[in-house]
Chains A and B, each alone.
Chain A
Amino acid sequence: MSATTAAPVWTKMRPKQGALSRLFDWKPFLAFICLLPAAGLLMTFLTYPLGLGIYLAFTDTTIGRPGIWVGLENFIWLAEDPIFWNAVFYSVFYTGVATIGKFALGLWLALLLNQHLPMKSLLRAIILLPWIVPTVLSAIAFWWIYDPQFSIISYLFIEMGLRETNIDFINTAWPARWSLIAANIWRGIPFVAISLLAGLQTISPSLYEAALLDGASGWQRFRYITFPMLLPILAIVMTFSIIFTFTDFQLVYAITRGGPVNSTHLLATLAFQRGIPGGQLGEGAAIAVSMIPFLVFATLFSYFGLARRKWQQGEGND
């Protein structure tokens, strides 16, 4: 009885596949439809603006007036601008020092977290907080910590008798530069530490056991096992970190806005200042475009890091 009723249901289902559903089952069409939203959005709001930005860098566009092609004039103008060269210098310096600081401290924190600790998952959750909270909001907290009159750090130093006067954090060039780097390192440590911790956990304990048998010291175990095994992840995380530190905007804009006397401008903040409030879109675009060579360099760095990893593990190209 049940078999006879089931059979017609099955035959009824088949003809329901109309032309439309067959079209959706056709692989090339389905792939096209699936990629359409993502590709459309990325083409319109990423690829096109990237091209447009490069074009704008060669024009004298200002807000409200479409510009004309001026060739390399923007770049020639920038090459004679000491503020631009100062921004290039500080971008490189900021990226270099902050990356070294973030990775040294982040690796240390990752090694600590890899030990047996009580409440490990809670610790990991707390440590990621600086990375989760909006950068501008934590930057404002740093601004308050760096306040010339009511800085808590100055208070501590004076209470401990280490200094007589308040520390000048952000009102002269070099202290301001170092203060911004410190804030950047503070924000960057969690991401580096958690990513490297993931790398550390993939290293097989048997390698350490073998090294212990061979009588390797703690430093030797780190130098010849931990570090080489961590290198592939280190390369990727470092590329990301370098790219996003080099193009950083929020922290500097929130704490110093490029001041005092333009000494802490990064390329991104200078591009913003000239482009949006200043209205010189062409010049701003030229400053932004001059970041591209550095980014290409960082990406190639990542690519060769990845290539090396595949070679090490003997994997084919996937």
Chain B
Amino acid sequence: MTEAAAVSTEPKATNSSSAQPETMAWDSKSRRFVLLYLPMFCFLIILLFPFYWMTITAFKPNAELYNFAEHNPFWITSATLDHIRLLLFETAYPRWLMTTMLVAVCSTVLSLFASTLAAYAIQRLRFQGSQYVGLAIYLAYLVPPSILFIPLATMVFQLGLFDTPFALILTYPTFLIPFCTWLLIGYFKSIPFELEECALIDGATRVQILWQITLPLAVPGLISAGIFSFTLSWNEFIYALAFIQSSENKTVPVAILTELVTGDVYQWGALMAGSLLGSLPVAIFYSFFVDYYVSSLTGAVKE
């Protein structure tokens, strides 16, 4: 007995000793620096530089902006709020921001409502052919807006929605619902069936089960679906460009590109300030929920 134990521990000991030099070689400081920290640092610099440049430009006075010879372009010597003042008080920027917010919130609520019910039906009611409905929704996600915007433009026009926020609120769910449903199906899968069975035995109706048992348990899934929808609809461009014409109904991404770029002289300071302010709401919103976001993104991919 003791001999067997000695024999079984013996190879383990040799294993760890033979593995030691390998990990030691990898962990040696300079090697780790060259193979890990240096490339990581380069990636971070490249991925973040455009944001740094955006921020720097937004607060630079024009004199510094267009004179690299006398001023170090990577730093600001006399920061100014001129570009932001121009943006907020001399353009309709606050109005665009409100429109974007309205469209993003309404389409998010609409698609969350529709996709929660759909995911519940597909994952929990398990009717005949539910997996085909799931597949159809997955395929719907693969239809890109670039194919749909021309026929949708004619529809929007015929429905009399052209140039109103409703055109966007009703069309954004076409790419939000498939994504949210897909995400929520995965989430509902992780909630144990037994809880619902207990409630059924206790005499709860299915609507009560959905409202009082499943939904409260699915709140983290609903939050991540909500963040995804919000960022996706905030970032949407092609529908907003095609369906909205009047300046005051435009969303931020479209308005910055079409209203601030006037003539041959680009107001780079104001453009960058607009981009910065347009990116901030999503970035802040995202930073609050980053863990939900990353875990559901990776979870959805793993499905």
Instruction: List the interface of chain A (C-beta within 8 A of B).
Output: 13, 17, 21, 24-25, 27-28, 30-31, 33-39, 41-42, 45-46, 48-50, 52-53, 56, 61, 105, 108-109, 112, 115, 117, 121, 123-130, 132-138, 140-142, 144-145, 147, 150, 152, 155, 186, 189-190, 194-195, 197-199, 202, 209, 212-213, 233, 236-237, 239, 243-244, 247-250, 253-254, 267-268, 271-272, 275-276, 281, 284-285, 288-289, 291-292, 295, 298-299, 318
Contact = CB atoms under 8 A, between A and B. Distances in A.
Contact of A197 (B44, B298, B299): B298
Contacts of A236: 301
B205 interface: yes
B53 A112 contact: no
A284 B150 contact: yes
A302 B113 CA distance: 29
A140 B18 CA distance: 54
A255 B67 CA distance: 23
Nearest to B287: A125
B33 interface: no
B293 A24 contact: no
Contacts of B226: none
Contact of A30 (B54, B144, B178, B206): B206
A145 B50 contact: yes
Contact of A37 (B113, B151, B282): B113
| Chain A, interface SS category | helix
Contact of A109 (B43, B181, B231, B283): B43
B165 interface: no
A133 B51 contact: yes
A305 B221 CA distance: 27
B40 interface: yes
Given A137-B256, A137-B279, A198-B301, 16 more contacts: A25-B205, A50-B143, A53-B148, A121-B290, A123-B40, A134-B252, A145-B50, A150-B268, A155-B68, A202-B302, A253-B241, A267-B146, A272-B242, A275-B150, A276-B149, A285-B150
Interface in B268-303: 268, 271-272, 274-275, 278-279, 282-283, 286-287, 290-291, 293-294, 297-299, 301-302
Given A34-B118, A129-B51, A150-B68, A194 B279 contact: no
B257 A254 contact: yes
A35 B65 CA distance: 55
Nearest to B147: A288
A186 B110 CA distance: 32
Contacts of B111: 41
6 contacts: A42-B174, A42-B177, A52-B151, A52-B155, A195-B301, A272-B241
A49 B272 contact: no
Interface string B229-252: 001001101100110000000001
A45 B152 contact: yes
Given A150-B66, A281-B154, A35 B117 contact: yes
Contact of A144 (B110, B272, B278): B272
Contacts of B51: 129, 133, 138, 141
A141 B231 contact: no
Interface stretch (B84-92, B132-140, B191-199): B132-140
A37 B95 CA distance: 31
B170 interface: yes
Q: Which 5 A-B residue pairings sit nearest by Cβ, starting from the closest?
A: A198-B298, A34-B121, A38-B118, A268-B146, A37-B114
Contact of B234 (A56, A128, A134, A285): A134
A250 B144 CA distance: 13
Given A135-B237, A141-B53, A271-B150, A38 B117 contact: yes
A24 B117 CA distance: 13
B147 A136 contact: no
A247 B141 CA distance: 13
B147 A292 contact: yes
Nearest to B204: A25
A125 B294 CA distance: 8
